[in-house]
Each structure stands twice: as C-alpha cells, then as structure tokens.
Structure 1
C-alpha cells in the first residue's frame, strides 16, 4: 500500500511506520521534522496547525492519523486528503466514552463535543476525521505499551525494578490488566486499512491478558531480578495519598475505573482480526529498547511525568500508613 502517516516519528506513529516498511509498503510521514525518522520512509515537513502545503498533492491508499490535540487539525487533513486517499484511520482513545459504568463497548455514550481536556480533544478528532469522503476507522485504543513509549508508564516500572531493593507492588497481585502493544495496534491499523474497514473499534487485549503480578514479575526478571516485590493493599495505597495511574503507572485499584479500563468488551476488534502478543514480549522488547537510550526514555511534552517519589515508597513499605 501507499501509506501516509500523519506523525510517524513518535510512539504509535513510529510503530505503524516500522510495520508498514517491514511489509514493503510505500511509506510517507508528515511531521515537523524535529525527531529522527524511521528507516525506509519518505518525509514531508509541515505543521498540523500551520502549513499543510506539501499535502496538497499526492495520493495514498490509507492515511493513519495519530493527532491527540485540537480536533480542527484532524478536520483540516481529512478535508484536504478527501478524494486522494482510499481510507482514513484516526487513532482515538477509549477516553471518549462518558463515565465508566457501561458495558456496551463501542455503542456506549460519548463525552460532549465541548468537553475540556484529552477526552474532548479525542472526540473532536473523531468528528474531524468523519468529514473524510471515504471509509473512516476510529481506533479507540486503551492503555498502549511497548518500545518507543513516550508517556513513561512501562519505562518507569522497568527502571524502578532495575534499581532493585524493596519495591512497592500495588495489589492485589492477581489484578487483571488490559492493554495493547503499539506494534499490535499498528498491525490492526494496516490490516484493516487494506480491507477499507470503517467504524469504531475498542483496541486493547482481552480482559486478563496479564496481571499486575505477572507484569512486575517478568519486569523484575528481565531487568536483573534485583527488586524485592512487596505487595501492598489498595487501602494502604489510598491512605498514603498515592495516585493510581500517575504515581503508580498502569495500576488502578479494583473499582469502577478499573472495570472500565481493564475489563472492556473487545469482541468487535478480535472479530476483525486483532491479535495481541504475550506480555513477556512487550516487556522484554521495551527493556531492550530502553537499554539502548543513553539519555533515557523520551517524554511527551503534553503529558506529566509519571512515577512514585522514592521517599513516599519507603514510608509505605516502612508501615507508616498501615502496611
């Protein structure tokens, strides 16, 4: 295929570019040119919020759009590329759903178009993509992990485990996790683009694809086995004022939010061919990538740094909050 990636040098866009090149596709990336390019792509330089001149000519079989900020940027490219591309895939988010107490998967109510923040931005991106005059796929991804992650969730855990010593492990140990490796997301996007599949898809692994215990055990193993995992009850974590998801990345305690993010119905995506690799492969490959970065993992400027203050961790493990 002739693939145009709007982005293509960051996390998900990089995974799509790498997979498309591996398949032998003709790959073009459009971005500001501030990061190193994936191997084997052709680069067009411009700005989603400014000059789109280089996109005014050319034809493609599919467009993959990873934009996560202002929805009007997605609308501009969807309009501009109409008639010159066969398919448009917008990488959205399960955050577009309103509330957490639903089990209707892709038919669940959405946030309002005036909603502030990330969820509203993603919904406005979906509405922008909808003006494209061909089939549009809305890839509503959940938690995304894997090499090139620029949010810092799995990299933070792997670096913490590599430091070793007594390590706060948020319980329960058998707490199920649902996520997608960026490379599996890339495969799905390209496979469905080839068939011009349209519609919204929740894209994460099946519930219970791994557990918090398995994730940290494998992480500890691949980073050298120096961490002594100390499993801490969710009530103690709450009493210590520790924020799940941000201070303890990936983790959410049992409850409505965990049910929504880690027990979602993904039967539609699996019916369309989604395949998720084993957690060990994601962890091992992410650690191998991290070890090759002299300056550490990249960090998106529009996302806060994640992770737990070592002093707070020590206080919890010392029993200051009833551990």
Structure 2
C-alpha cells in the first residue's frame, strides 16, 4: 500500500512508520522536518505545516492516510478536505480523553463525549494552538473526529488510545515508575493498592493500527491495555520483579498525600485520586479492539525496553514524577506518624 503519515517521526508516529516499512508498504511522511528529520532516510518526505501549509500534498494520491498529529479540528478539516479525493481511507488517532462523565468504569465507544458550544470554539481559534489544546484537549479531539468522519464518510477509522507508553515516550508518566523502582530504596506508592490502571505499549498500538489500515477497517475503537485488569500494586510489583531488587514500596493513603500537596498524574503518574471520582478514565472497555486483533506483549518487555531507552536519554528535566526531595520528605513524615 501507499501510505501517507501526517507526522511520522515522534513516538507513535515513529512506530507507525517503522511498522509500515517492516510490512512492506511505501510510506510518505508529511511534517515540518523539525523532529528527528534524520529518521527513515529511505522514505519520501514532504515538508509543510498542517496549520496552513499543505501545498506539498496537492496533486498526489495514496491508498490510505494515517493522522497521529491532529489536535485542532480546523486544521484536521483542512487536511481531510484536501485529501478526500486523494486517498481511500483515513485513520485518525484520537484519545480516550474525549469521554466525559467518568464516574463509572467500563466506558465503551458509545459513551458520552465532551462537547463545546460554538462560542467556546471561536475563543479557542483565537488562542495560540498549544494553549487551546491544553485547555480543551479532549473536546477538540472529538471535534477532529467529527471532521474526519464528515469528509471521509464511511471511509474513516477513529482510534481512541489511552495512555501510550514504551521507548521514546516523552511524557515521563510510565517511565517515572520504571526509573524510580530501578533506583531502589523506599518508593512512595499512592493510595489504594487495588486501583485499576491502563496503558498500552506504543509498538502494540502501532502494529494493530497498521493491520487495521491494511484491512481497511472503519469505525471507532478504544485502544488501550492490558487484556485483563491490572492494579497499581500489580504494576509496581512487576517493575520490582523486573528491575528493582532493592526496593521497599511504601503505600501512602490518599488523604495524607493530598494534604502534602502530592498531585495525581503529575507527581504520581498513573494515579487519579478516588476523590476526583473518575474511575472510568483508566478502566476503558477495549473488547471491540481485542475482537479486531489488538494484542499485547509481556509487561516485562515494555518495562525493560523503556528502561534501556531511558538510560540513553540526556534530558535532565522530567515532565512527570515526584521530586526526590519531596518524596523523601513525605515518606519521612508518614513514617514518623506511624501510619
């Protein structure tokens, strides 16, 4: 197949490109040429900007388009409309963040989504793109979906991943735990041991998406993992078994953490406090995707490969995870109180 990937060099896009090439497809990348432009020297690269400069895409044709880089519906609209007669299939990578009313688990593809009034959309259009995305990420992703479905009626695949993890993950949310367990010592673990969490290895997601494109599958699919329920305790124990032989995991109650200004998700990645009443966010129903062939590699492999990649990074400022000094102080207070 002739595939056009909008992006194609950063995290999921990187592995989509890699998998497509491994499967023997002819790949064209369209991006600004700013993120690791040296990657994939064997593929055709078109330089442009989906926010206003699509000239390089005109007059071309592909069997399918994969869009892992769309965040603003007005830019997704522009690219989709330009490509509607140039490709037979359009895959849009959305997000499980489109869902609202997260007070119940087992959210499937028919669950309600967050929507924006027109006046708010106009306000977002006037903002810098990064600010608009940060303020209404999920709602904008849903509007992107609707643009793709409108333009590629009956010819679109919408993928709603949860947390994507593995090598080259720039968010630091999964890798924080892998690195912290590997470092050893007393490790602060948040809240309930049996709290369910979800994530998917970027390579599993990319391989499944390429298979779906090859089969020209249409529709909307949640795509996260694992196949069966995983608790925070099971995850940390697996990290300990894999990379941390000198670790003492200390479970600290939610009320105590919040009282010490330890935040969920940023300080303690993968943890959403029970008080937020969002059990649906990390317990999404993925049966439809598994029925369509979504499979998962062993968690141990994801842990080891993430740690190996992390050891090669030169980044000193992490985007997520508890500051070591703050962790030490909270643990000291917790231990002193004998809780």
217-226 or 25-34, which deviates more: 217-226
Aligned to 1:132: 151
308-317 or 217-226, which deviates more: 217-226
1:226–1:45 CA distance, 2 compared to 1 (3 A): farther
1:275–1:266 CA distance, 2 compared to 1 (3 A): same
Aligned pair 1:181/2:210, yes or no? no
What is the correspondence of 1:203-242 to structure 2 with a 5 Å cutoff?
203-206=223-226, 208-223=228-243, 225-242=245-262
Aligned pair 1:36/2:36, yes or no? yes
Unaligned runs of 5+ in 1: 300-304
205-214 or 191-200, which deviates more: 205-214
Give how far 1:297 is off.
8.2
Aligned to 2:131: none
Aligned to 1:3: 3
Aligned to 2:53: 51
Q: Distance in 2 between matches of 1:136 and 1:256?
A: 34
Aligned to 2:331: 317
Give how far 1:69 is off.
2.8
Q: Secondary structure at the match of 1:168?
A: strand
* CA offset digits 1:29-53 (Å, max 9, x no partner): 1111112243343211111112111
Aligned to 2:189: 169
Aligned to 1:145: 165
Match of 1:108 among 108, 111, 134: 111
Aligned to 1:287: 307
Aligned to 2:126: none
Q: Distance in 1 between matches of 2:45 and 2:285?
A: 37
Give how far 1:312 is off.
2.3
Q: Distance in 2 between matches of 1:174 and 1:284?
A: 24
Q: Distance in 2 between matches of 1:46 and 1:136?
A: 23
| Contact 1:75–1:131 under 8 Å retained in 2 | no
Aligned to 2:23: 23
Unaligned runs of 5+ in 2: 121-134
Give how far 1:70 is off.
1.6
Q: Distance in 1 between matches of 2:244 and 2:300?
A: 14
Q: Distance in 2 between matches of 1:298 and 1:236?
A: 26
Q: Distance in 1 between matches of 2:292 and 2:317?
A: 32
Q: How many residues are treated as equivalent by the alignment?
A: 317
1:237–1:91 CA distance, 2 compared to 1 (3 A): same
Aligned-pair Cα RMSD in Å: 2.4
131-140 or 142-151, which deviates more: 131-140
Match of 1:118 among 133, 137, 140: 137
